[in-house]
Amino acid sequence: MKNKLKFAVVAVLLLFTSFSFAQQKFYVDLNDRANHLFNVTLIPEKLTDENKIYQFASTAPGTYQTMDIGRFVRTFKALDANGNELATKHISVNQWELSDPAKTVKIVYSVADTWNTKVTENMVYPMCGTTIENDNVLLNGQCVFGYFHGMQKTPIEIKLDYPADWTVGTALKLDSNGFYDAPDYDYVVDSPILLGKLTKATSKIENTTVDVYTYSKSGEINSEQVLQLLEDILSATSQFTEGLPVDRYTFLFHFENFSAGAWEHNYSSEYVIKDGSLDDNKAKELKSMAAHEFYHIVTPLNIHSELISNFNFEKPTMSQHLWLYEGVTEWAARILQLRDYLMSLDDYLADLREKISTSDNYDPKVSLVDLALHSTEMQDQYGNIYKKGAVVATLLDIRLLELSHGKKGLREVLNQLYRDYGANKPFSEKDFFDEFVKRTYPEIADFINKYIKGTEPLPIREYFAKLGIDYQESAGIDSSKTYLGLGLGVKDNKLIVTVVDNPTTDGIQKGDYILKINGEEITLQNAQQKFSFIRSLKVGDSFAVTVDRNGEQKDLKLTMQPRPIKHLFKVMENASEEQLDLRSAWMKNL
């Protein structure tokens, strides 16, 4: 019996060994910083003809933009065991084909950082990209690493070569051999790395360890300062989610000479914010961004469809549930502060007013579902997911509270969803709307059809009246204040006119690209500075503007107009008991 058992164990071990997973080892040299190059050596295992295509990412989950990282690859070589170069072929912007995969024992390539490489279109968002400088490196996985076809789910080890006095911040775990380990390519993309002259601070939020790593160009900001700003947000989020769904989390802050935004991940988030002293405005910006990104641990990281779980880096299919991933997240980031007394009701309503006002600058005929499905092509409309998307989530929460008589709102539905699904169990892309309705009320199907799938005007006044809060869409004009009379967005890395409130506004039209103001060239980098002078203008004052309209330049002028008074909220003085009860439920975690 013992011999049979011993034989069975040996057989199982042999079977396991013969079918053991291959892995990829990456060695990244970060010492060519003057040329802004990542020099990468890849040692693959067990390549076959099935793995002959080496794939760089066309985009990455959560970015909703075309990246085409192959554009940044500068050299690519395959070598055999004797160090001889094997033929490779660049077959598409993001793909290299190996002539003899079985003989390939090493791939050597270099890839330029995205911050310092000029491209004519599809500029990579800085927080999702890479930079390699004398005193710091930002490395987002999809911008440096690729994978062989058929091996996206293969384990990966990464060793970094960098100055000995640098600090490394990442959610990746370092093994005893000096390698950062990841179960697959998706996990590498999900785990940005910040290196350099960093400061570090650590805290414990209930059962979750939180690390903060900070690079500050000027040295004015350190991690202890940042952590102090974040602790109340983290605690409020834990109250909102009834315990955090992660045991560790890493914040990576890169304070530069510009602000770009942030990018969420399962166990970390990366921020690019303008450097300088942490005054009240910067502190508010930082907390606002962190509240949003940190809540992403729930949506989409623990509530997402199979399109996110099995992301296609070659030819991605966008999920229609961007309303949930970004709109609901932005709603949660604000309401959780209101409910934990970090934000007053007046401040909350002022923030909501700003969102509605900004949403006016986008096309009202684009539904949240259409925006999601075409987000990479509709970059000029994409920002509305954070504005209209959050407003829709606000109304959905009120509707749920009304139908449940104050017993269950959007928070309670989300907390149940992330427990039922989780990071490793996606929901059905096609069936999630039906699933959401089954978990709530039949009336929610009508809400989804009208305001998420459809483009009907949002019932803001009707819904807030249920809370005893009055809303006025328009309340005349304020002649003491001015505005341009148009809305601006971003498309093809240029400013574009998205809305013209007054059709007679000096001949400017929707779709015009703004090229110059008063003869000076306008870029995304200098736009805020170049437009700052209009704050001193009065009603009737004009300035020159040059636009590109269908490839033809036109010299026009813009005249400042009296500012309309729009989107006013006011708490009713004589609210009914029913309204007060629902408002009370709305303003607390149930």
From the number of C-beta atoms within 10 Å of its C-beta (0-12, 13-18, 19+), residue 330 rates as buried
Confidence (pLDDT) at 418: 92
Confidence (pLDDT) at 343: 94
Residue 266 phi/psi, 5-degree rounding, is: -60, -45
CATH of 202-293, one of 1.10.1740.10, 1.10.390.10, 3.30.428.10, 3.40.50.150: 1.10.390.10
Confidence (pLDDT) at 287: 92
Question: Where does the chain hold its CATH 2.60.40.3650 domain(s)?
Answer: 23-197
Confidence (pLDDT) at 349: 98
**β-strands 248-256, 268-274: how paired?**
parallel
Among 24, 26, 17, smallest CA distance to 45 is for 24
Confidence (pLDDT) at 4: 39
CATH of 23-197, one of 2.60.40.3650, 1.10.10.10, 2.130.10.10, 3.20.20.70: 2.60.40.3650
Please tell me the distance from the alpha carbon of residue 376 to that of residue 35, in angstroms, as a whole number.
30
CATH of 485-559, one of 3.40.1410.10, 2.30.42.10, 2.40.50.100, 3.40.50.1000: 2.30.42.10
Q: How far is CA 5 from the centre of its chain?
A: 53
Helix ranges (DSSP H) in 404-526: 410-420, 432-439, 443-447, 460-465
Q: Could you report the average pLDDT of every consecutive run of 10 residues in the chain (590 residues)?
A: 38 37 88 94 95 96 91 98 97 98 97 94 93 97 97 96 97 96 96 97 93 96 96 95 91 93 92 91 90 92 89 90 96 97 96 95 93 87 94 98 98 95 92 97 98 98 98 86 80 81 73 90 79 84 90 88 90 96 97
Side chain identity at 33, as an amino acid letter?
R
Question: Domain 306-468+574-586 adopts which CATH fold?
Answer: Neutral Protease; domain 2 (1.10.390)
> What is the full DSSP assignment across 123-146?
PPPGGGS-EE-SSEEEE-GGGT--
Please tell me the distance from the alpha carbon of residue 355 to that of residue 24, in angstroms, as a whole number.
45
Residue for token pair 């040059």? 546
Query: What are 208's strand-pairing partners?
Result: 205
Confidence (pLDDT) at 561: 84
- Note the pTM of the prediction, 2 decimals: 0.84
- Residue 242 host element (H or E): none
Residue 513 phi/psi, 5-degree rounding, is: -90, 130
Report how far apart the first and last C-alpha atoms of the chain are (Å, whole number). 60
- Residue 343 host element (H or E): none
